[in-house]
Structure formats: C-alpha cells, structure tokens
Amino acid sequence: MSASLDALLCVQTTVLWLALLAPSLLGLWAWRFPPQRMLPVLLAGLPLPLATLWLLHRVSVGGEFEGAWSPGGLLLHWRLDGLAGLLLLLTQLLLLASATYAVGHRRATTLAECAFAGFWPLLGGLAAALGLIWVAADLLILYAALELMGLCAVGMMLLPGKGEALVAGMRYLLYALVGSLAWLLGVALLLGSSGRLDLAGLAATTEPGPVTGIAMALLATGLLLKAAIFPLHGWLAPVHASAWPSVSALHGALVVKASFFILMQLWQRLMPEAVAAAWLLGLLGSLAVLWGGLQAWRASDLKQMVAWSTVGQLGYLMLAFPLLAGTSVAVATLAWQATWLQLAGHALAKAAMFMAAGNLVLSAGESRLTGLAGASRRLPLPLMTFGIAAVTLMGLPPSAGFTAKWLLLQAAILAGQWLWVAVLMAGTLLAAAYVFRVLRCAFVETAPCHEVRPLPAGMDLMALLLALGALGLGLGAEWPLALLREGGRP
Amino acid sequence: MSGALIILATLGTSLFTAVMIFLLPERAFRARTGLNLGAALVKLGLVAWMVWGLSRGREYTLAFPVLEGLAFVLRTDSLGIMFAGLSSLLWLFTTVYAIGYLEDSPNRKRFFGFFSLCVASTLGISLAGNLFTLLVFYELLTLSTYPLVVHRGTAKALAAGKVYLRFTLPAGLVLMIGMVALHALAGDIRFGQQEILAELAPGRRPLLVGIFWVLIVGFGVKAALVPLHGWLPRAMVAPAPVSALLHAVAVVKAGAFGIVRLVYDIYGVELSAELGLLHGLVAVASVTILYGSLRALAQQELKPRLAYSTVSQVSYIVLGIGLFGPLGTIAALSHLLHQGLMKSTLFFCAGNYAEELGIHRIDELDGAGRRMPLTSLAFSVGALGMIGVPPVVGFLSKWYLGTGAIQADMPWVIVVLLASSLLNAAYFLPILGRLWFRPGPDHGVGEWPAERRPVRLETLAWLLVPAVATALFSLMAGVLAGMPFSPLEWTTRVVNTEYLP
Amino acid sequence: MSLSGELFPASLLVILAVACLLDRHLVRACLAFIAFALLMALAWWRLDAPWLALVEAVLGALLTGMALFHGLGRLGGQSSLPSRDRERRPRRQVMARWPAALVWLALAGAAVWGVTGNGELAASAEVSRRPLLAAGLAIMALGLWAFAHHLHLLRRLLAFNVLGSGVFLLLAGLAGPVVEVQGLILVGLVVALVGSVLGAALLRRLYALDGRVTLGDGPKSIR
C-alpha cells in the first residue's frame, strides 16, 4: 500500500519537474527553429496545463506534497500546494496564449528575424523562473528564480530594439538590479540571524524583532520595486510603451505578480502579526490605486493607459496585508481568497487587454485614443475583447474582479476597516472613468474611415479567450477557491 | 423538462441570440431578423410555459455556489415570473419595432446584439433568487444599455452616455456595498426568507435601517427617484425603441423591481413597516410624482415630456409599496405591468411621428390624427391610461392606490394622486387636442417638418403593428381585468401569498 | 588570521571602491574596478572559499571587466565613448541623493549590530570577520550613493557592481563562508555579470543610436 503511494508521489514529483522545466527546453528548440504557425505552438504547449491539472487533482485528493534536493551540500526545498498549483496553471495558460499570439504577431507585421527567434528562449526562461517561484520553499531558489525572471523580462522588453524601448529597458534593468540587491541584503540579515534559508525553518526560528523588521523592510523594498508598487512604479509605464503586446501581456499579468507573491509568502511566515507595517503596505496600495487610476485616466496613448491601470490594480492586492494582519479568522480567510482571485482575474484580463490593445493599435496603425474613433464599426472584435477585459478591471459582474471585490468588501466591512471600502469605491470609479474613455472614443461616428490592416484570426481569438476566462472565473470561482481554502495559507 | 434546464433555456435564448448576432456579418439582415423574432417567440413560449407550470404549483430553480456561503440562484416565483412575462412580451414588440425603425441605418449588428444582451439581463433580474444574482444582472444591464444609449455616436448621444454612466455606475457600487454589508450581517438571504432579518437581534435594527436606505439609493437611480433621476431625460437621445425599452421594461423597471424585492422579499413588509421605512418611501415617491409631473408640463418636445412623465409614473410603484396593506401592494405590482404597456405604446407612437413626419416638438403635432389615425389612436389610449381614464388599465392602478391609501390610513396620499392626475391631464390633453382637433398640413395648414412617403399604411407596418398591439394590450388588460392570467388577477395572487401566511 | 591582518585588505577594498566610484576618467575607473574584484577574490580565498574566489576572478574581474570595456568601446574597433564623464547632476538634486544612502547605511548598520550583538558571532574565529563587515557596510553605502548620484550609465553600472560586492561582503561577514552563503553569492555574481553585459550592450546601442550616455535627466523625463 505504502509502496504504491510512494510510487505515486515519485510520479507526481517527476511530472511537476517536467512541467516546470519543459518550457525552457521548448524555448531552446524554438530558438533554433522559430515556429511559423500557431497550431504547432498550441499543441506543443497544451500538455503542460493538462499535467498541472492532474497535479492539482492529486493535491486536492492527497494534500500538498513537498521535497528537497541537495546539489553540493546545499539543501533546496520546494512544495506544491493548492495555491502554487493554481498559479502554475494560470502561468502555463498565459504563456501558451502569449506564445500563440507572438506567432500571429510575427505573421501580421515584419519583425526582425533574430529578435523573433530570441523571444523563445527568453519565454522559456521566464516560464521556468515563474514556475520555480510558485513552488519554491527556499530563499535561495527564490533568489535565483527572481533574478532569472527579471533578466528574462528585461530581455523581452528590449526585443523591439527601438530607442525609447532601449532607454526604458535600461531603466528597468537598473531598478531590477538594485531591487535584487536590496532583497539579497535582507536575505543576508535573515541568514545571519537564524542561519537558515528554507521558509518553514525561518518561520519556526525567526522571532519578531528589529533585525527581522529591518530584513523584512529590505526584502519588501526590493520586491515592491520589482512589483512596481507605488511609489516605486516609475519604470513600469515607459517599459510598456514600445514592447510587443505578447511581452507586455506576460509582464503585466505575471511578472509583477510574482514579486507580490513572494512578498506575501515571506510576510505570512516572518511577521504575520505586524499590524502597523501591514497598514503601511495597505496605504501604499491605496495610493497606488488612486495614482495609477488617475494616470491611466490622463493617458493619451492606449498602451500607456493599460500599463498605468496595472499600477492601480496592483494596489488592490496590497490591501490584503492589513486585512490579514491581526484580524479574525473569518476576515483573513475572505481576504486570502479575494487576493488570489483578484490576482488571477487581473492576470487574465490584463493579458487580454494588452493583446486587444495591441490588436487595435496594429490594425488601426494609431496608438492614440483619438485614433480609435469609430473603432466599434471597423474593429468590433478587438474592441469587444477590450470591453470584456475592462469589465474585470472595473470589477463589474459577472467577472473575477467583481467576485474578488465582493470578498474584499466583505472582509473590510467585517473587520471594520472602512478606509479600504472607500479605496475600492474610488478605484472602481476611476477604472470606469479610464475604460469608458476608450470605449467612448470607439463609438464616435463622425470619424473618417481609415484603412484597417487585417490580422490573423488567432490573435483576436487568443485575446478573446483570455478575456472570457476572466469573465468566467467570476461565477466559476468555487473550484479554485475551494482548493485555496484547503491549503496554501501558512 | 427539468426545472433548471427550462430556466437556463429561457435565459440562454437571449444570450445565444446576442452571441449569434455578434457573429453574423452586418449585412445578414434576414438571418438577423429571423433570429431576433424566433428567439423572442421562443422565449415568450418558455415564459408562458413557466407561468402555466407555476400556477399548477411547480417550482423551477437553478442554483450553484459561487463563494463559500453565497450562491448564484435563478428561481421562478409568481412575482419574478410576472416581470419576466412583461419583459418577454415587450421584447417581442420592441424587436419588431426596432427592425423597422433602424431600417438602413448603420451598426445594426451592434445594436441588436446589445439589445438582446439587455433583455437577457432584464430576464435575469426577474428570475434572480437572491440579491447577489440580482446585482450581477443589474450591473450587466448597465453595461449592455450603454452602447444603446450612445448608439447614434453624435456628441449629444455621447454626452448622454456619460451622464448615464455617472449616475448608474456609482449607484451600482453603492448597491454592492449595501448588499455586501447585508451579507456580512445576515448571510445569504434568498428572496422570500423574510424571517431571517425579522429574527435578527433588536440591537441590529438601526444598522438594518441604514442598509435599507443605502440599497434604496442604489435602486433609486435606475428607478429615477428625485433627486437621482437626472440621467433619464438626457438618455432621450437614444433611438426610440431603446427609449421604449429603457422606460417601459428594462432600466427603470429594474430599479423599481429591485425596491419591490427589497421590501417584500428581503425585509418583509411587516418589518419594513415596523422600522418606519415605508413612510420614507411614500414621502420620496410623492415628491417624485409631483416633481416629475411639473417638469413634464414644462417640456416643449414630445420625448422629454414622456421622459418626465416616466419619472413621475414609476414612482406610483414605489408609492404603492409604501402603502402598508394588500391594496397598496396590488397597486404597486399591477402598475409595474400597466405602466410598461402604456409607456411603450407612447414611445412607439412618438417614434412613429418622428420617423414618418419628422415631428419632435409638441406644437408640430397639429392635425397629425388625420395623417396617422392608427398611431394617434394608440397614442390617445396610452395617454388616457396615464391620466387614469377607465377602461384603460391606468385607471385600475390609481383606483387601487387610492383605496390602498385609505387602508393604510394615509388619506393625504389621495391629494397627491389627485394633483398628479390633474397634472397628467394638463400635459397629455393638449397633445390629444392638437392631434385630433387642430387643423394641420393634411387640412392644408403648414407642412410637416420632414415627411417620408408612406407605403401602403400610414407608416411602415413594422412600426405600426407594435404600437397598436401594445395599445390594445393596455386596453384589454383594463377591460378583462377579472379574467385569469390578467395582470391584476396575477398580482392579486402574488399579494395573497405575501400577506396570507 | 588575526584582526589586524584582516584590517589591511579590508581598508584596501574601500580605497579601491572609492577610486572606482569617484574617478571621472572612465578607463581608470574600470581598471580600479577590476583591481577591486581581484581583491575580492583574494578575500574569498582567505575565507576558505577557493571556488568562490575562482568564480569571482573569472566572472567578477575578467568577464565583467571585458563587458565594461566593451561598453566603453575599447574592445574591437568601433567608435568608443568619450573617456571622461562630463555629466553633472543639477545641484538641487545632489542633496536629495544623500539621505537615501544614509538611510540604507543606518538600517543595515543597525541590523548588523543587532545580529552581531546577539552573541552569535562571539567566537574568536568570527571576530576576524568584523573588518569585512565594516568594509561591506562602507562599500555598500558608497555604491548606493554613487548609483543614485551618477548620471553616466557606465558609472551607474560600476556603482551597481560595487554595491553588489558590498552586499556579498556583508553576507559573508554575517553568516560565515557556509555553503548557503556561497550559493547566494554565486547566483549574485552570475546575475551581476549578466546585468553588466546587458547594460554595457544597451549603452553601446544607445550611444550608437543618438549619442547619449544617460537615461535623460532623471525620473522626470519618463517618456
């Protein structure tokens, strides 16, 4: 009996590591032979989410599983729980969509051959890094994966090779490097005070105190910088200005979220009761919501608007900290579910929105909002996709954003923290303001009729599927949330 | 067919139509028309089936959990099915009308797609089994009506759309906060479980009062209660079928229906009366009724006058809710249906005048009765109903309101009713006078602003038939009020289940 | 190893860092950095981490140095950057750069004091790491200030590398040359190298495109 269980565990571990590392191999393969059609990419990538689904099923049946390997005297820990599995699934789906979209993008426009080939190994590296971040239970793996992710992301942003992209990419690179040094310093302090790197061990041995506080502050600074949380968000919007839509989609959907995920993991283990610090993070998040929303409202360029809206939406995630610290179990459970639902919904919707915006810009040949006049007639499908994705961003039903907002509101009201209710209201109205600015432009009838460049159908379809996914997650939230409730919260 | 499946089919008919219309190309006029009419008929049939099943004691429910302790519930009860029946019936007529009205205009695919989505949301609102589900469709309604309001794409239409959103989006947000607070206080309340709030500890009563008014603000924007009514007259720039839909069924009725649900199925009428909430409602409704009528009197154009008349008429429903007692409730619920029939008639007619003769102002209507006799007849029926002249159904609403006021021991409400009826007469009778008794271009005086050459009838059959049909329905609902399945009979049935244990 | 025996290399490290960060002559600054990295390798050697010393010498000194010289355009025959940094930050902004470095220093210093004061480093073998800690703190503060202050991209890359080395020193000084520390530093070295290569390549592209060696004038000029 136990032998068969052991064998099953062994199979699970193998499947997990295959699912984690296969994307980088595929990426290297595609570097050598860049794909020309969408279908092979889709077929090559499809087994990965299926494998993750099976793993999730195993997790829901047998609980989380963990392990460690030891290269050269080091002991590196990992574990797969419901949350990590769900995020892995989300990552794989988004990467698949982005890869497929990229092939279409290449067919629709003239991209430099070598830049397009270079996209694939970077994508593979990003996939591996993200997967490692979700399953890591060890600061060393987290550090390596975080750096790999940051460098791959910078590399992808630089692919267009235009002047503006280079400046923005350089700024991003410098910020990311300094952020990782702040993180490393925090790790050094933790290692110096407790002598361990695995998260479970740290949680057991670390006591709240000035050293832990300072270490956490440094770690948080590094991560907030990488997650573009107000006021460390300055690099985000310019980076997206000239990046490819497939890259922007991945970046806005996953890369910034990964840093948030790490911060949440560390916070929950090292200082779950630090109320004042949690409130500080919550206040930063509130300011992010307001400032990001205002800037998105003011933006005159479609992609800039979408990028600024990322700054605002990330702020919602930060509200989790004050709602988790020192509150009742009911409130914490609600806030915990709300956060991950919001993260997933926003990831899907933001990827869809970047792709839809990319389609609009590519087809219309115009990136300013005013250039979109009459788009509802000329480009109904991308606009519809944009609108559906916007429903999630505004948190209107029936979308994941709405369900997450419901949970957050309920948590805030139960905890009596009315400030966050006001922030959520303001954020929603601001989101509606900037989204409807775009949709409003599209309804103008007096616009002259420009030529519209046709795009491969797959590009529109990918964006639409992601947007519908964000919508469907709103009412179909029970399955992932049930997985979250069972495990994941340390 | 199982209960869940038939509900899903009813809702799915409209959703499927919306998706199919978006997929069809713009030029596929015939396919779209067939799809629209077919779906409208199928839906009407399904709703009729459910009405029949319900009257024989069957229950149709569809529920699944969305969050821990919160479910998405679609369910038929006699109140919901009443609203569903109204919306399906009027959808059929409005679709027919819209097909004729939008002939040869651009963006018809977009229009009919969102139109179907809008009807799907209305149906969802009527079948919702708890506040969460109601909110889902309520917000969906906001989203799907925006493209209809700005459909023309002119600066004026876009400005109206902006005002519309400025009112409805914050209202939706306020509604959501109220609902979340109620959920945090008492958990998931299905409609009809009034006992949950009634049995709450007395210390929570002030909180309940606060939540009630928050929710009323949320619903009140769509129900156009003064001072939250500002969007409604501005939204007049939308095409006539949209106005008919907005005013008669979808948006304002969604707000009014929400208030009905809130008072009767969440708080329960006894608790509402105990907490003193009903008096507040009566006061708000009275102010709205008088203010709307006064503003209507001041309008020089036909559609804005009808719009302010809506502001005033919808509040009859709220007034009826506020009158504690079965008669007031009968008045409220039956007016929900009656006003829909009469108001859509009026808007169809106004659209006909504008399409056929280019008439927008009231003083251009002189002698139009001779040129367009059937349309004018339908308009007269609707207008007389609004004033409350028997045997049109509007009379029944006012009669029950008056008797309900006496039953609720609020005789001063009768003064409000009388004043508003006088005002109604003051702004509708001059129009009828112009239509029938003033000499116009057809008598050789002046000429129409922009006349379109008629086909065989006085205007397109697509436009004429719905107007006449709804007028006939409002007449018949009054004459045949005692028959089974008439609106009045059905509301009496609903009220019996509400007041009798 | 005695305390006084450690003092000399530690102070030499600080001096080289200062030379690397303050020199406006870019070739000299790069040379100073290479010397600094070699001295770092020596420090790892003396801490009984020969592999780390080797990696530091190859990645930190050799390859990073090559990347920096490539960035300057001194490798290969393409047009090279001007060898002097003529960018000056406006006086108003200069003052604002100091608090950042000072806050960082204060935080890190307090934490280091907290960790070492706990008695965990009381063993005599670890007292000898005190100079390393102090040098690490000083180098970190210098690097941070330089990173915030300089406009020239090459000098910012240098500052980043120095800052990173300071963090590594602190890491080793706090926890000793255990295997976890070596792993972290290894990853850090690779990251720093990739970052430097990427940064140098970018700098060359930017210079080739429109002759600029800065990011515009600070965060104000975004877009």
Q: Does C223 touch chain A (CB under 8 A)?
A: yes
**Distance (Å, whole) CA C181 – CA C186:** 8
Per the CB < 8 Å rule, is A151 touching C195?
yes
With CB atoms and an 8 Å threshold, state whether C114 touches A144. no
C195 and A152 Cβ atoms separated by less than 8 Å: no
The predicted pLDDT at position C123 comes to 46
By Cβ distance, the residue of A74, A169, A237 closest to C183 is: A74
In chain A, the percentage of residues whose pLDDT exceeds 70 is 98
Model confidence band, residue C122 (pLDDT cutoffs 50, 70, 90): very low
pLDDT band at A281 (very low <50, low <70, confident <90, very high): very high
pLDDT, mean of each 10-residue run, chain B (501 residues):
83 91 86 90 91 86 88 89 89 89 83 90 92 92 90 87 92 94 90 85 87 93 88 84 77 91 89 89 92 90 89 90 87 88 90 86 84 90 88 85 88 90 91 87 77 73 88 87 81 77 49
What is the rounded distance in angstroms from the CA atom of residue B139 to the CA atom of residue B145? 10
- B146: chain A residues, CB-CB within 8 Å: 436, 439
Task: Quote the tokens at residue B414.
Answer: 């009768």
Which of C10-14, C87-91, C158-162 has the least mean pLDDT? C87-91
Q: Pick A443's closest partner by Cβ from B65, B150, B176.
A: B150
Give the per-residue pLDDT at B170. Answer: 93
| Spatial contact of A306 and A236, defined as CB atoms under 8 Å apart | no
With touching defined as 3+ CB pairs under 8 A, do chains B and C touch?
no
Tokens at A200, concatenated: 């479970």
Backbone phi, then psi, for B61, in 5-degree steps?
-135, 145
Q: What is the pLDDT of residues C17-73, one digit of tens each?
A: 888 888 888 888 889 999 999 998 988 888 888 888 999 899 888 999 888 888 887
| Residue B176 touches chain A, beta carbons under 8 Å | yes
- Cis previous bond, A272, omega within 30: no
Substitution target from A297, A393, A443, A484 for chain B, most B beta carbons within 10 A: A443
Compare CB distances from B67 to A384, A403, A432 and report the shortest one's residue.
A403
Asked whether the beta carbons of C206 and A170 are under 8 A apart, the reply is yes
Q: Which residues of A touch B132 (CB under 8 A)?
A: 406
Q: Which residues of A touch B142 (CB under 8 A)?
A: 396
Going A254 to A256 to A262 to A268, the CA torsion angle's sign is: negative
Provide the sign of the torsion angle of the four alpha carbons A137, A139, A145, A146, taken in this order: positive
Q: pLDDT band for position A257 (50/70/90)? A: very high
Judge whether B350 and B306 are in contact, CB under 8 Å.
yes
Cα distance from N-terminal residue to C-terminal residue, chain A? 30
pLDDT-derived band at C221 (thresholds 50, 70, 90) equals very low
Residue A14 belongs to a domain = no
Higher pLDDT, C14 or A374: C14
Q: How high is the mean pLDDT of chain A?
A: 88
**Number of structural domains chain A divides into:** 1
Please judge whether A410 and B22 are an interchain contact, meaning their C-beta atoms are less than 8 angstroms apart. no
Decide if A170 and C206 are in contact by the 8 Å CB cutoff. yes
- On chain C, the residues whose CB falls within 8 A of the CB of A193 are 114-115, 118, 120
Rounded average pLDDT over A290-303: 91
pLDDT bin (cut points 50, 70, 90) of residue C78 is low
Q: Are A199 and A78 in contact (CB under 8 A)?
A: no
Taking residues C101-114, what's their average pLDDT? 79
Residue C128 is predicted with a pLDDT of 66
Query: Residue A35, preceding bond cis, omega within 30 degrees?
Result: no
Task: Please choose, from the candidates B89, B95, B121, B123, the residue with its C-alpha nearest in 3D space to the C-alpha of residue B33.
Answer: B95
The C-alpha torsion from B214 through B216 and B222 to B226, rounded to 10°, is: -100
Phi, psi of B75 (to 5 degrees): -155, 145
For residues A175-198, average pLDDT: 87
What average pLDDT score do residues A173-196 get?
Answer: 87
Closest-CA distance of chain A to residue B351, Å: 22
Torsion of CA C148, C152, C158, C164, to 10 degrees: 30
* Separation CA B99–CA C82 (nearest Å): 73
Written as one letter, the residue type at B205 is R
Given a cut of 90, is residue A88 above it in pLDDT? Answer: yes
Taking each helix axis as running N to C, give the angle between helix A47-62 and helix A478-486, from 0 to 180 degrees, rounded to the nearest 10: 50
CB C161 within 8 A of CB C64: yes
SS3 B388: coil
Q: Quick one: pLDDT at residue B213? A: 94
Alpha carbons B107 and B21: distance in angstroms, whole number: 12
Q: Which domain holds residue A445?
A: 287-490
- In chain C, what percentage of residues exceed pLDDT 70? 86
DSSP assignment of chain C equals: --HHHHHHHHHHHHHHHHHHHH-SBHHHHHHHHHHHHHHHHHHHHHTT-HHHHHHIIIIIIIIHHHHHHHHHT-SSSSPPPPSB------HHHHHHHHHHHHHHHHHHHHHHHHHIIIIIT-SHHHHTTHHHHHHHHHHHHHHHHHHHH--SHHHHHHHHHHHHHHHHHHHHHHH-S-HHHHHHHHHHHHHHHHHHHHHHHHHHHHHHHH---SSSSSGGG--
Q: Where are the domains positioned within chain C?
A: 3-84+96-118+126-213
| Chain C environment of A174 (Cβ under 8 Å) | 147, 156, 160, 199, 215
Look at residue C1 in the predicted model and tell me its pLDDT.
47
Mean pLDDT of A150-171: 87
Chains with 3 or more CB pairs under 8 A to chain B: A
How far does A242 lie from chain B, in Å, by closest CA? 31
Q: With cut-offs at 50, 70 and 90, classify the pLDDT of residue A223.
A: very high
Q: Is A442 helix (H, G, I), strand (E, B) or coil?
A: helix
C vs A contact (3+ beta-carbon pairs below 8 A): yes
Residue C4: band (very low, low, confident or very high) from pLDDT cuts 50, 70, 90: low
pLDDT at A464 over 50: yes
* Measured distance between the N- and C-terminal CA atoms of chain B, rounded to whole angstroms: 31
Record: contact C111-A214, CB cut-off 8 A: yes
